[in-house]
């Protein structure tokens, strides 16, 4: 079940970050990390469609007010403002294929532009006396229902600034006829207060509603991911039990044939050493199958607690080979001592698969670094071998992924399942697994338990 690495040779590969940061923490479905940041969740196509609707509405409104109602507007300047929105939308359409979804920053910039463009139109057509001033709340409504808290706060402040600017500086509304209508200053202040409070209430209320919906969606996605991991782990356990059962008979046949060959061969035969090796490997296979059977039959039986280093030694012992040193380092140990580990089958077999892979491809050294820096514990397994194939780094941990050729996999019995099984078992223990090629060479696998439940 060993994963293949690339063939030896100099390769420029990205470096692995320090062990505590080797694996990013999983987002908390109930926290802000799952809902904010660089997540691209706003459809650029939706914003483009809304802006086309706004452009059409603005052109239609200007035409009706100018030619039907007889208002003498600053039509040239107003059309330039509308043309700016047309150009902005054409630019957004060019970027649509490369960026179909926008993060908070880009979406906030687009919506902020929409606010400023509408503010310019209102500035040219009466300011807050224009009944269409309420449309400044439209971009804020879109932002509150889709963006994060920081973006919503910034756009709310921009909306208040726009309302304030329109209340203080704006061309008067050009009523038809020689005598216009002048609204009392107190009434203008009332409009400003109403719009400012509407902006705050709309942004706050819609953000809370949308935030709750996003939290529920994130929790549902996390539950689905947890269920998927549990089903995958259960499938691996069933596969192990089936393999232990099905391999028993052919393994027994191999053992009988090897025993007869050892009895019939003279002691000085060149094949005697090979037959002895075959018998030892058959015995080892029997031990592994027996352990798998015991793990599936009595998975709930408590096992003795051992130091983390001893667990690593136990997992690596079947794969030690001459000329390759195993070095175990412990860092940032707690002042009250390092806790022991509950020796569960998931931990043991998961670490064994990764250590087998490292031992097989290492040239002289395999280093296991256990970092107890809070929160949790991080274990990084490094070797000085050829490293992982760079093109497969993003796919490592998936089933049937291997860097070997088909002939090499068949010859070695490699199905590309070693790291997949290891990752599945370690995730079942609460760990997160990541893979990298350090700049100094070799390969590194980091496992981080943010909230380890196996320590005592």
Alpha helices for 272-329 (secondary structure H)? 272-297, 308-316
What kind and span of H or E run contains 434?
A: strand 431-436
Percent helix, strand, coil in the chain, to 5, is 60, 10, 30
Q: Is 387 in contact with 442 (CB distance < 8 Å)?
A: yes
Q: Which residues of 218-254 are buried (b: 16+ CB within 10 A; e: fewer)?
A: beeebeeeeeeeeebbeebbeebeeebeebeeebeeb
In the block, tokens 């027996």 appear at: 290
Of 386, 429, 367, 448, residue with least CA distance to 10: 386
In the block, tokens 């990205």 appear at: 14
Residue 150 main-chain phi, psi, to 5 deg: -60, -45
Report DSSP letters for 55-80, one per residue.
Answer: HHHHHHHHHIIIIIS-----HHHHHH
The pTM of the full predicted model, rounded to 2 decimals, is 0.46
Of 106, 101, 135, 103, residue with least CA distance to 118: 135
- Pairing of the two strands 365-371 and 325-331: parallel
pLDDT in tens, the chain (456 residues): 444 454 444 333 333 333 333 333 333 333 333 333 345 568 888 899 999 999 999 999 999 988 888 888 888 999 999 999 999 989 988 888 788 888 888 889 999 999 999 999 999 988 888 889 999 999 999 888 888 889 899 999 999 999 999 989 888 888 776 566 777 888 888 989 999 999 999 888 888 888 877 777 776 676 666 666 666 666 666 666 666 666 777 877 888 888 888 888 887 787 888 888 888 888 888 777 776 666 555 444 445 677 888 888 888 888 888 889 999 998 888 877 777 777 677 778 888 888 988 888 899 999 999 998 888 889 999 999 888 888 888 888 777 666 544 443 444 445 566 778 788 888 877 888 999 998 888 899 999 988 776 664
Predicted pLDDT at 10: 38
| CB atoms near residue 373 (< 10 Å) | 14
Count Cα atoms within 13 angstroms, Cβ side, for 364: 1
Distance separating the N- and C-terminal Cα atoms of the chain: 31
- Pairing of the two strands 377-383 and 341-342: unpaired
């Amino acid at each position: 079940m060993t994963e293949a690495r690339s063939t030896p040779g100099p390769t420029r590969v990205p470096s692995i970050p320090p062990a505590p940061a080797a694996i990013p923490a999983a987002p908390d479905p109930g926290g802000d990390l799952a809902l904010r940041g660089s997540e691209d969740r706003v459809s650029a196509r939706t914003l483009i469609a809304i802006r086309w609707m706004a452009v059409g509405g603005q052109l239609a409104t200007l035409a009706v007010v100018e030619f039907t109602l007889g208002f003498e507007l600053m039509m040239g300047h107003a059309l330039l403002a509308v043309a700016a929105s047309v150009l902005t939308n054409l630019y957004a359409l060019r970027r649509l294929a490369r960026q179909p979804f926008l993060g908070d920053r880009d979406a906030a910039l687009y919506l902020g532009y929409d606010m400023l463009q509408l503010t310019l139109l209102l500035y040219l057509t009466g300011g807050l006396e224009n009944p269409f001033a309420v449309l400044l709340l439209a971009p804020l409504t879109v932002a509150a229902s889709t963006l994060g808290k920081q973006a919503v706060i910034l756009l709310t402040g921009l909306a208040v600034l726009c309302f304030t600017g329109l209340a203080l500086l704006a061309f008067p509304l050009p009523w038809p006829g020689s005598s216009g209508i002048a609204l009392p200053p107190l009434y203008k202040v009332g409009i400003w207060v109403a719009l400012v409070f509407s902006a705050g209430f709309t942004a706050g209320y819609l953000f809370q509603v949308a935030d709750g919906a996003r939290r529920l969606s994130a929790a549902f996605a996390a539950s689905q991911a947890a269920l998927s991991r549990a089903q995958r782990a259960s499938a691996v356990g069933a596969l192990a039990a089936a393999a232990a059962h099905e391999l028993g008979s052919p393994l027994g046949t191999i053992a009988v044939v090897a025993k007869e060959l050892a009895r019939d061969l003279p002691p000085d035969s060149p094949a005697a050493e090979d037959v002895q090796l075959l018998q030892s490997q058959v015995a080892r296979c029997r031990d592994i199958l027996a352990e798998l059977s015991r793990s599936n039959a009595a998975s709930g039986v408590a096992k003795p607690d051992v130091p983390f280093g001893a667990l690593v030694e136990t997992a690596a012992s079947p794969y030690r080979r001459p000329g390759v040193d195993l070095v175990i380092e412990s860092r940032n140990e707690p002042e009250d001592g390092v806790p022991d580990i509950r020796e569960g089958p998931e931990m043991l077999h998961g670490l064994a698969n990764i250590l087998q892979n490292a031992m097989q491809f290492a040239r002289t050294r395999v280093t296991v670094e256990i970092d107890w820096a809070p929160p949790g514990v991080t274990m990084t397994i490094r070797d000085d071998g050829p490293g992982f194939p760079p093109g497969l780094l993003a796919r490592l941990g998936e089933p049937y992924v291997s860097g070997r050729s088909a002939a090499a996999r068949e010859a070695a019995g490699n199905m590309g399942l070693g790291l997949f099984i290891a990752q599945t078992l370690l995730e079942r223990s609460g760990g997160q697994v990541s893979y990298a090629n350090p700049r100094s060479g070799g390969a590194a696998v980091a496992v981080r338990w943010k909230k380890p439940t196996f320590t005592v």
